[in-house]
Structure 1
Amino acid sequence: MRLKLLRHAPPVTGGRLAGRRDVDADCSDSTVCARMRHMIGDPGQVICSPAQRCLQTAAALGLDIAGTNPAIWEQDYGDWEGLRYEDLPDLGDLSPEQIAAHRPEGGESFDDMTARVLPELQALTDDTLIVAHAGTVRAALSLVVGPAALSFSISPLSLTIMRNTGSGWAVEAVNLTAEAGCSP
Protein backbone atom coordinates (compact mmCIF):
# COMPACT_ATOMS: atom_id res chain seq x y z
CA MET A 1 0.00 0.00 0.00
CA ARG A 2 1.36 3.36 -1.04
CA LEU A 3 0.64 6.42 1.07
CA LYS A 4 1.07 9.87 -0.43
CA LEU A 5 0.86 12.85 1.90
CA LEU A 6 0.33 16.32 0.48
CA ARG A 7 0.74 19.36 2.68
CA HIS A 8 -1.76 22.08 1.82
CA ALA A 9 -0.81 25.13 -0.24
CA PRO A 10 0.73 28.11 1.61
CA PRO A 11 -1.56 29.14 4.46
CA VAL A 12 -2.71 32.75 4.61
CA THR A 13 -1.76 33.54 8.20
CA GLY A 14 -0.13 36.97 8.18
CA GLY A 15 3.03 35.47 9.67
CA ARG A 16 1.22 33.74 12.53
CA LEU A 17 1.02 30.11 13.62
CA ALA A 18 -2.20 28.60 12.28
CA GLY A 19 -2.36 25.15 13.91
CA ARG A 20 -6.07 24.53 14.43
CA ARG A 21 -7.15 27.99 13.27
CA ASP A 22 -9.12 27.57 10.06
CA VAL A 23 -7.31 29.80 7.58
CA ASP A 24 -7.36 29.95 3.80
CA ALA A 25 -4.68 28.61 1.48
CA ASP A 26 -3.06 30.57 -1.31
CA CYS A 27 -3.78 28.39 -4.35
CA SER A 28 -3.31 31.20 -6.85
CA ASP A 29 -0.32 29.71 -8.71
CA SER A 30 -2.14 27.51 -11.20
CA THR A 31 1.13 26.42 -12.85
CA VAL A 32 2.53 25.03 -9.59
CA CYS A 33 -0.83 23.41 -8.80
CA ALA A 34 -0.89 21.73 -12.22
CA ARG A 35 2.68 20.47 -11.77
CA MET A 36 1.86 19.06 -8.34
CA ARG A 37 -1.26 17.36 -9.68
CA HIS A 38 0.92 15.74 -12.36
CA MET A 39 3.47 14.65 -9.74
CA ILE A 40 0.74 13.00 -7.66
CA GLY A 41 -0.37 10.86 -10.58
CA ASP A 42 -3.04 8.32 -9.62
CA PRO A 43 -3.88 9.33 -6.07
CA GLY A 44 -5.92 6.26 -5.16
CA GLN A 45 -8.51 7.28 -2.60
CA VAL A 46 -8.22 10.88 -1.38
CA ILE A 47 -8.80 11.73 2.27
CA CYS A 48 -8.64 15.34 3.37
CA SER A 49 -8.33 17.17 6.65
CA PRO A 50 -11.52 19.19 7.19
CA ALA A 51 -9.43 22.38 7.44
CA GLN A 52 -10.39 24.98 4.85
CA ARG A 53 -6.78 25.27 3.61
CA CYS A 54 -6.73 21.54 2.83
CA LEU A 55 -10.12 21.51 1.12
CA GLN A 56 -9.09 24.52 -0.99
CA THR A 57 -5.83 22.80 -1.97
CA ALA A 58 -7.64 19.62 -2.99
CA ALA A 59 -10.09 21.66 -5.08
CA ALA A 60 -7.28 23.64 -6.75
CA LEU A 61 -5.63 20.36 -7.76
CA GLY A 62 -8.89 18.89 -9.06
CA LEU A 63 -8.83 16.00 -6.60
CA ASP A 64 -11.96 13.97 -5.99
CA ILE A 65 -12.16 13.69 -2.21
CA ALA A 66 -13.53 10.42 -0.81
CA GLY A 67 -14.04 12.05 2.58
CA THR A 68 -12.63 14.20 5.35
CA ASN A 69 -11.18 12.97 8.62
CA PRO A 70 -10.87 15.29 11.64
CA ALA A 71 -8.25 12.97 13.17
CA ILE A 72 -5.68 14.16 10.61
CA TRP A 73 -6.10 17.85 11.45
CA GLU A 74 -2.95 19.76 12.44
CA GLN A 75 -1.53 19.71 15.97
CA ASP A 76 -3.44 21.88 18.46
CA TYR A 77 -0.90 24.45 19.67
CA GLY A 78 -3.18 25.83 22.39
CA ASP A 79 -2.00 29.23 23.63
CA TRP A 80 0.56 29.41 20.80
CA GLU A 81 -2.20 29.55 18.16
CA GLY A 82 -2.15 32.89 16.36
CA LEU A 83 1.23 33.98 17.73
CA ARG A 84 3.70 35.56 15.34
CA TYR A 85 6.42 33.04 14.47
CA GLU A 86 9.09 35.24 16.05
CA ASP A 87 7.12 35.24 19.34
CA LEU A 88 7.02 31.44 19.66
CA PRO A 89 9.15 29.94 22.47
CA ASP A 90 12.56 28.60 21.48
CA LEU A 91 12.68 24.86 22.21
CA GLY A 92 16.06 24.42 20.52
CA ASP A 93 17.84 23.02 23.61
CA LEU A 94 15.38 20.14 23.95
CA SER A 95 16.01 16.70 22.47
CA PRO A 96 13.61 15.42 19.78
CA GLU A 97 11.95 13.22 22.43
CA GLN A 98 11.48 16.21 24.76
CA ILE A 99 10.10 18.37 21.96
CA ALA A 100 7.70 15.59 20.94
CA ALA A 101 6.42 15.37 24.54
CA HIS A 102 6.18 19.16 25.05
CA ARG A 103 2.58 20.33 25.31
CA PRO A 104 1.83 24.04 24.86
CA GLU A 105 -0.63 25.33 27.46
CA GLY A 106 -4.14 24.36 26.35
CA GLY A 107 -2.87 22.33 23.40
CA GLU A 108 -1.47 18.96 22.51
CA SER A 109 2.05 17.60 22.12
CA PHE A 110 3.41 16.02 18.96
CA ASP A 111 3.13 12.70 20.82
CA ASP A 112 -0.57 13.43 21.46
CA MET A 113 -1.08 14.23 17.79
CA THR A 114 0.68 11.07 16.60
CA ALA A 115 -1.51 9.03 18.95
CA ARG A 116 -4.49 10.53 17.10
CA VAL A 117 -3.12 10.36 13.53
CA LEU A 118 -1.21 7.07 13.35
CA PRO A 119 -4.16 4.69 13.92
CA GLU A 120 -5.91 6.38 10.97
CA LEU A 121 -2.89 5.89 8.70
CA GLN A 122 -2.18 2.34 9.86
CA ALA A 123 -5.80 1.33 9.17
CA LEU A 124 -5.49 2.20 5.46
CA THR A 125 -5.41 -0.80 3.14
CA ASP A 126 -5.57 0.86 -0.30
CA ASP A 127 -3.32 3.37 -2.04
CA THR A 128 -4.25 6.72 -0.53
CA LEU A 129 -3.49 10.41 -0.84
CA ILE A 130 -3.86 12.38 2.38
CA VAL A 131 -4.26 16.16 1.98
CA ALA A 132 -3.35 17.59 5.36
CA HIS A 133 -0.72 19.47 7.35
CA ALA A 134 3.01 19.49 8.08
CA GLY A 135 2.29 17.89 11.47
CA THR A 136 0.32 15.10 9.83
CA VAL A 137 3.20 14.40 7.45
CA ARG A 138 5.70 14.37 10.32
CA ALA A 139 3.41 12.03 12.28
CA ALA A 140 3.49 9.62 9.32
CA LEU A 141 7.28 9.89 9.11
CA SER A 142 7.46 9.05 12.82
CA LEU A 143 6.36 5.54 11.86
CA VAL A 144 9.90 5.10 10.53
CA VAL A 145 12.11 7.51 12.51
CA GLY A 146 10.18 8.24 15.72
CA PRO A 147 10.44 11.77 17.19
CA ALA A 148 13.28 12.59 14.78
CA ALA A 149 10.44 13.20 12.28
CA LEU A 150 10.21 16.67 13.84
CA SER A 151 13.50 17.54 12.11
CA PHE A 152 12.02 17.19 8.60
CA SER A 153 11.16 20.31 6.65
CA ILE A 154 7.69 19.97 5.12
CA SER A 155 7.08 22.82 2.68
CA PRO A 156 3.63 24.05 1.70
CA LEU A 157 2.30 22.12 -1.30
CA SER A 158 4.91 19.37 -0.94
CA LEU A 159 4.50 15.65 -1.43
CA THR A 160 5.84 12.88 0.82
CA ILE A 161 5.55 9.25 -0.25
CA MET A 162 5.65 6.18 1.98
CA ARG A 163 4.96 2.50 1.43
CA ASN A 164 3.59 -0.08 3.83
CA THR A 165 5.77 -3.11 3.06
CA GLY A 166 3.68 -5.50 5.14
CA SER A 167 6.43 -5.73 7.73
CA GLY A 168 6.75 -1.98 8.34
CA TRP A 169 6.92 1.36 6.61
CA ALA A 170 9.46 2.67 4.11
CA VAL A 171 9.98 6.28 3.08
CA GLU A 172 10.24 6.76 -0.68
CA ALA A 173 10.42 10.57 -0.82
CA VAL A 174 10.03 13.57 1.46
CA ASN A 175 9.14 17.19 0.72
CA LEU A 176 8.93 17.01 -3.08
CA THR A 177 7.84 20.37 -4.47
CA ALA A 178 6.52 21.32 -7.89
CA GLU A 179 8.90 24.28 -8.05
CA ALA A 180 11.83 21.85 -8.06
CA GLY A 181 10.36 20.01 -11.02
CA CYS A 182 10.70 16.69 -9.23
CA SER A 183 8.55 13.71 -9.99
CA PRO A 184 8.12 10.60 -7.85
Structure 2
Amino acid sequence: MTELHLVRHGPTHAKTMVGWSDLPADLSDTAQVARLADHLPSDGIVISSDLQRCVATADAIQRDRRRLAHDATLREIHFGDWELKSFAEIEANDPDRIRAYWETPGDVRPPNGESWNEVTTRVDGAIDRLITTHQGAKLIVVVHFGVILTQIQRAEQLTADEAFAHRIDNLSVTSIKITDSGWITHPINHIP
Protein backbone atom coordinates (compact mmCIF):
# COMPACT_ATOMS: atom_id res chain seq x y z
CA MET A 1 0.00 0.00 0.00
CA THR A 2 1.22 3.48 -0.90
CA GLU A 3 0.05 6.49 1.09
CA LEU A 4 -0.35 10.04 -0.15
CA HIS A 5 -0.48 12.75 2.49
CA LEU A 6 -1.38 15.86 0.50
CA VAL A 7 -0.52 18.97 2.51
CA ARG A 8 -1.73 22.40 1.44
CA HIS A 9 0.96 25.05 1.82
CA GLY A 10 0.81 27.85 4.39
CA PRO A 11 -1.42 30.85 3.62
CA THR A 12 -0.37 33.63 1.27
CA HIS A 13 -3.19 35.98 2.39
CA ALA A 14 -3.69 37.01 -1.25
CA LYS A 15 -7.26 37.89 -2.20
CA THR A 16 -6.64 37.22 -5.87
CA MET A 17 -6.22 34.24 -8.20
CA VAL A 18 -2.80 32.83 -7.27
CA GLY A 19 -1.59 30.02 -9.47
CA TRP A 20 1.97 30.10 -10.79
CA SER A 21 2.84 33.42 -9.12
CA ASP A 22 5.58 32.72 -6.62
CA LEU A 23 4.19 34.25 -3.41
CA PRO A 24 5.63 33.36 0.01
CA ALA A 25 3.73 31.40 2.67
CA ASP A 26 2.99 32.80 6.11
CA LEU A 27 4.34 30.16 8.48
CA SER A 28 4.28 32.35 11.57
CA ASP A 29 1.83 30.04 13.37
CA THR A 30 4.66 27.78 14.50
CA ALA A 31 2.38 25.80 16.82
CA GLN A 32 0.13 24.81 13.92
CA VAL A 33 3.14 23.95 11.76
CA ALA A 34 4.53 21.79 14.59
CA ARG A 35 1.19 19.98 15.01
CA LEU A 36 1.16 19.30 11.27
CA ALA A 37 4.73 17.96 11.33
CA ASP A 38 3.89 15.77 14.35
CA HIS A 39 0.79 14.38 12.62
CA LEU A 40 2.59 13.27 9.45
CA PRO A 41 4.33 9.88 9.28
CA SER A 42 7.87 10.15 10.65
CA ASP A 43 9.09 7.74 7.96
CA GLY A 44 7.42 9.69 5.15
CA ILE A 45 9.19 11.06 2.09
CA VAL A 46 8.66 14.80 1.49
CA ILE A 47 8.24 16.41 -1.92
CA SER A 48 6.76 19.75 -2.93
CA SER A 49 5.83 21.97 -5.80
CA ASP A 50 8.72 24.22 -6.79
CA LEU A 51 6.87 27.41 -5.79
CA GLN A 52 8.26 29.02 -2.64
CA ARG A 53 5.03 28.75 -0.62
CA CYS A 54 5.24 24.95 -0.92
CA VAL A 55 9.02 24.72 -0.59
CA ALA A 56 8.98 26.76 2.64
CA THR A 57 6.09 24.70 4.05
CA ALA A 58 7.94 21.47 3.18
CA ASP A 59 11.08 22.84 4.84
CA ALA A 60 9.07 23.63 7.98
CA ILE A 61 7.61 20.11 8.31
CA GLN A 62 10.51 18.01 6.98
CA ARG A 63 12.41 17.31 10.20
CA ASP A 64 14.44 14.10 9.67
CA ARG A 65 12.33 12.89 6.78
CA ARG A 66 13.86 12.13 3.40
CA ARG A 67 13.37 14.93 0.86
CA LEU A 68 12.93 14.68 -2.90
CA ALA A 69 13.66 17.46 -5.38
CA HIS A 70 10.92 20.04 -5.94
CA ASP A 71 8.61 19.24 -8.85
CA ALA A 72 7.22 21.95 -11.15
CA THR A 73 4.53 19.57 -12.44
CA LEU A 74 2.95 19.78 -8.97
CA ARG A 75 2.24 23.51 -9.36
CA GLU A 76 -1.16 25.09 -8.83
CA ILE A 77 -3.57 25.80 -11.70
CA HIS A 78 -2.01 28.18 -14.22
CA PHE A 79 -4.46 31.08 -14.32
CA GLY A 80 -2.69 32.84 -17.21
CA ASP A 81 -3.99 36.38 -17.69
CA TRP A 82 -6.14 36.00 -14.56
CA GLU A 83 -3.08 35.68 -12.29
CA LEU A 84 -3.19 38.02 -9.29
CA LYS A 85 -6.56 39.45 -10.31
CA SER A 86 -9.65 39.30 -8.14
CA PHE A 87 -12.78 37.45 -9.21
CA ALA A 88 -14.54 40.83 -9.52
CA GLU A 89 -11.83 42.20 -11.83
CA ILE A 90 -12.00 39.16 -14.07
CA GLU A 91 -15.79 39.07 -14.04
CA ALA A 92 -15.91 42.71 -15.17
CA ASN A 93 -13.97 41.82 -18.33
CA ASP A 94 -14.76 38.17 -18.98
CA PRO A 95 -17.95 37.24 -17.04
CA ASP A 96 -19.02 34.22 -19.07
CA ARG A 97 -15.63 32.55 -19.07
CA ILE A 98 -14.87 33.04 -15.37
CA ARG A 99 -18.28 31.65 -14.41
CA ALA A 100 -17.92 28.70 -16.77
CA TYR A 101 -14.42 28.00 -15.45
CA TRP A 102 -15.65 27.57 -11.87
CA GLU A 103 -19.23 26.37 -12.45
CA THR A 104 -18.57 23.83 -15.23
CA PRO A 105 -14.86 23.03 -14.92
CA GLY A 106 -13.41 20.97 -17.72
CA ASP A 107 -12.11 22.37 -20.99
CA VAL A 108 -12.69 26.08 -20.26
CA ARG A 109 -9.37 27.83 -19.82
CA PRO A 110 -8.30 31.32 -18.76
CA PRO A 111 -6.56 33.29 -21.50
CA ASN A 112 -2.97 31.98 -21.66
CA GLY A 113 -3.72 29.58 -18.77
CA GLU A 114 -4.78 25.97 -18.43
CA SER A 115 -8.13 24.23 -18.18
CA TRP A 116 -9.15 21.97 -15.30
CA ASN A 117 -8.71 18.94 -17.55
CA GLU A 118 -5.17 20.05 -18.40
CA VAL A 119 -4.34 20.54 -14.71
CA THR A 120 -5.70 17.09 -13.91
CA THR A 121 -3.67 15.43 -16.66
CA ARG A 122 -0.47 17.20 -15.55
CA VAL A 123 -0.91 16.41 -11.85
CA ASP A 124 -2.10 12.81 -12.38
CA GLY A 125 1.09 12.16 -14.35
CA ALA A 126 3.26 13.58 -11.57
CA ILE A 127 1.46 11.60 -8.86
CA ASP A 128 1.60 8.40 -10.96
CA ARG A 129 5.38 8.81 -11.32
CA LEU A 130 5.73 9.25 -7.54
CA ILE A 131 3.59 6.18 -6.81
CA THR A 132 5.50 4.04 -9.31
CA THR A 133 8.92 5.19 -8.14
CA HIS A 134 8.12 4.99 -4.42
CA GLN A 135 5.73 2.05 -4.28
CA GLY A 136 4.74 1.20 -0.71
CA ALA A 137 6.05 4.52 0.66
CA LYS A 138 4.34 7.22 2.68
CA LEU A 139 4.57 10.27 0.46
CA ILE A 140 4.10 13.72 2.01
CA VAL A 141 3.29 15.95 -0.95
CA VAL A 142 3.21 19.69 -0.19
CA VAL A 143 1.10 21.31 -2.86
CA HIS A 144 -1.79 23.61 -3.71
CA PHE A 145 -5.59 23.70 -3.47
CA GLY A 146 -6.17 22.68 -7.11
CA VAL A 147 -3.60 19.90 -7.00
CA ILE A 148 -5.26 18.34 -3.96
CA LEU A 149 -8.69 18.58 -5.59
CA THR A 150 -7.43 16.71 -8.68
CA GLN A 151 -6.50 13.74 -6.49
CA ILE A 152 -9.75 13.85 -4.50
CA GLN A 153 -11.63 13.83 -7.80
CA ARG A 154 -9.56 10.87 -8.97
CA ALA A 155 -9.76 8.86 -5.74
CA GLU A 156 -13.47 9.35 -5.22
CA GLN A 157 -14.35 9.22 -8.93
CA LEU A 158 -16.10 12.58 -8.78
CA THR A 159 -17.01 15.09 -11.43
CA ALA A 160 -14.87 18.23 -11.41
CA ASP A 161 -17.84 20.17 -10.02
CA GLU A 162 -18.18 17.68 -7.13
CA ALA A 163 -14.45 17.91 -6.41
CA PHE A 164 -14.65 21.72 -6.25
CA ALA A 165 -17.24 21.40 -3.47
CA HIS A 166 -14.50 20.24 -1.08
CA ARG A 167 -12.89 22.72 1.25
CA ILE A 168 -9.10 22.53 1.47
CA ASP A 169 -7.63 24.76 4.16
CA ASN A 170 -4.05 25.96 4.37
CA LEU A 171 -1.85 23.61 6.43
CA SER A 172 -4.42 20.82 6.15
CA VAL A 173 -3.77 17.19 5.22
CA THR A 174 -5.78 15.06 2.82
CA SER A 175 -4.74 11.41 3.02
CA ILE A 176 -5.22 8.82 0.30
CA LYS A 177 -4.30 5.15 0.53
CA ILE A 178 -3.59 3.36 -2.74
CA THR A 179 -4.28 -0.35 -2.45
CA ASP A 180 -4.71 -3.21 -4.91
CA SER A 181 -8.47 -2.73 -4.66
CA GLY A 182 -8.48 1.05 -5.25
CA TRP A 183 -7.93 4.47 -3.75
CA ILE A 184 -9.33 5.35 -0.33
CA THR A 185 -9.53 8.91 0.97
CA HIS A 186 -9.49 9.51 4.71
CA PRO A 187 -9.52 12.12 6.01
CA ILE A 188 -9.99 15.06 3.66
CA ASN A 189 -8.93 18.52 4.87
CA HIS A 190 -7.75 17.38 8.31
CA ILE A 191 -6.32 20.19 10.45
CA PRO A 192 -4.02 18.65 13.09
Q: Tell me the TM-score range normalised by the shorter chain.
A: 0.7 to 0.9
Alpha-carbon separation, structure 1, partners of 2:5 and 2:82: 29
1:76 is paired with a residue whose SS is coil
* Cα RMSD for the two superposed structures: 2.0
In structure 2, the residue matched to 1:18 is: 18
Alpha-carbon separation, structure 1, partners of 2:58 and 2:142: 7
Q: How does 1:1-184 map to 2 (within 5 A)?
A: 1-13=2-14, 15-42=15-42, 44-63=44-63, 64=65, 65-89=67-91, 98-123=104-129, 124=131, 125=135, 126-143=137-154, 144=156, 145-147=158-160, 148-178=162-192
Residues 103-159 of structure 1 deviation map (CA, whole Å, 9 limit, x = unaligned): 111100111011001022123122211001011100111212241212211111110
Opposite residue 101 of structure 1, the aligned amino acid is D
Call closer, same or farther: CA 1:150–1:43 in 2, change over 3 Å: farther
Deviation at 1:55, TM superposition (A): 0.8
> Which stretch of structure 1 is more off in the superposition, 124-133 or 139-148?
139-148
With normalisation by structure 1, the TM-score equals 0.87
Residues 49-85 of structure 1 deviation map (CA, whole Å, 9 limit, x = unaligned): 0000001111222444222111111110111101024
Call closer, same or farther: CA 1:132–1:154 in 2, change over 3 Å: same
* Structure with the higher fraction of residues in helix conformation: 2
Alpha-carbon separation, structure 2, partners of 1:94 and 1:68: 28
Residues 24-65 of structure 1 deviation map (CA, whole Å, 9 limit, x = unaligned): 000001111111111213252111100000011112224442
With normalisation by structure 2, the TM-score equals 0.83
| Aligned partners of 2:80 and 2:113 also within 8 Å | yes
**Matched residue pairs, number?**
176
Alpha-carbon separation, structure 2, partners of 1:81 and 1:119: 24
- Percent identity between matched residues is 28
